[in-house]
Structure 1
């Protein structure tokens, strides 16, 4: 049975689960990934240029196989063989493993972009459906073209266009001309998000309320400043 001292003396290798979950999607075979992990283990132990013969023995494969695997890792851009200077100014070789992390970062960024693209496509589809639902009819070719210009040329987001549609519906203006004016008004005020639209609506509402308060105060009847209580006191005498 292995002792705790021996277990701790052999150290541990820290690797991101993202790499373990995505190595196949990155284009690594299981043997290539295992070799990369062996190089990582050596690197974290302070040896950035381990003997591949020892690595082959650990993996239970032959020397020819290990060299072929290393060549594949280098050709695929997961490992870079570098020549650097040590602290004494002497040249030495090392395996740079950082490119694997860079490839992983690119993969996750591509996934994020795909998710955002799918989300935007769904938002656009929902927006078109909202137009037809509120207008009570299918959109014409010209209307599709105009809405497409808002998206592609003016770069309005589907959510912003949907909010402008809601503004038009509230004012019973079922036409694109009114919606276009709303979008232009928001653009002049640098309003590009739902939160900014809501803030602008609150601001407008406060202005209207203030105007109503001022108007209400102006229409109040004049009230005499006569002190009726004083007159009652004098009568009592």
Structure 2
């Protein structure tokens, strides 16, 4: 084994989180401070939790004062702290603690995920508004906008389900929200919450319709291609739905 291989194996490895590597600047850490963090982590991995600032600076080409200043800034930013451990019959020992850094990283991930969810919800809302306006062929009134907002925020209907209710309304040539509301309510009562369940219910309903028609006529193999697609709620429920 040559000298390089021996030195490589003897020095070991320093493992750093890829998540931290990609987002340390989002946490307020500078490139210089991150490099110091890597050096401190390397020393800690080798059993030295509080290396001298001069030693750290020498490894990365900084003066002892520059390292001290960067450490002070990281403490001010709540990226790290110095902990002192007292053990019986032993001298107090200091160590660099980066728990706060990882707490900030965890909060960053939560905030980013929350922001993504809100952005997605906002985009879905706009898509629903625009699609209803497009199919109705007119701008929505403030009351109609509020109704759709209530479907999303209070009734917790998904954008997909609202779009499917809109499709049913368009197929029936009934361009108002009352009709859509009755469809959504009917699905809710049947615990239908996904497009797949809607399709299953339609298939079941159409199958029953065909079977009933064959039973009455006594004719098998009758042409059912012209049977209209019946909305998935009771016809009697929409007696006033054709009125705006």
- Answer whether TM exceeds 0.5 for this pair: yes
Task: Name the TM-score, length of structure 1 as normaliser.
Answer: 0.79
**Conserved 8 A contact 1:79-1:100:** yes
Larger Rg computed on CA atoms: 1
Displacement of 1:177 after TM fit? 0.3
Give how far 1:218 is off.
4.7
Match of 1:95 in 2: 96
18-27 or 204-213, which deviates more: 204-213
Deviation, 1:87, is 11
- The offset of 1:26, in angstroms, is 1.5
Distance 2:189 2:218 in 1: 38
Q: Kindly indicate whether the alpha-carbon contact (under 8 Å) linking 1:82 and 1:94 is maintained by their aligned counterparts in 2.
A: yes
CA distance in 2, matches of 1:128, 1:72: 48
2:210 aligns with 212
Give the conservation status (yes or no) of the 8 Å contact 1:83–1:91: yes
- What is the RMSD of the two structures over their aligned residues, measured on CA atoms? 2.7
1:40·1:97 contact (CA, 8 Å) conserved in 2? no
In the TM superposition, 1:81-92 aligns within 5 A as 81-84=82-85, 92=93
Q: TM-score, normalization: structure 2?
A: 0.77
Whether 2:114 is the aligned partner of 1:113: answer yes
2:49 corresponds to which residue?
48
How far apart, CA to CA, are the structure 1 residues paired with 2:175 and 2:41?
64
Assess if the C-alpha contact under 8 Å between 2:160 and 2:195 holds in 1: no
Tell me, in whole angstroms, the C-alpha distance in 2 between the residues paired with 1:108 and 1:49. Answer: 29
Determine the structure 2 residue equivalent to 1:198: 196
Q: Distance in 2 between matches of 1:15 and 1:133?
A: 51
Query: Matched residue pairs, number?
Result: 218
What is the DSSP-based 3-state SS (H/G/I as helix, E as strand, rest coil) of the residue aligned with 2:6?
A: helix
Question: What are the ranges of 5 or more consecutive residues in structure 2 without an aligned counterpart?
Answer: 220-244
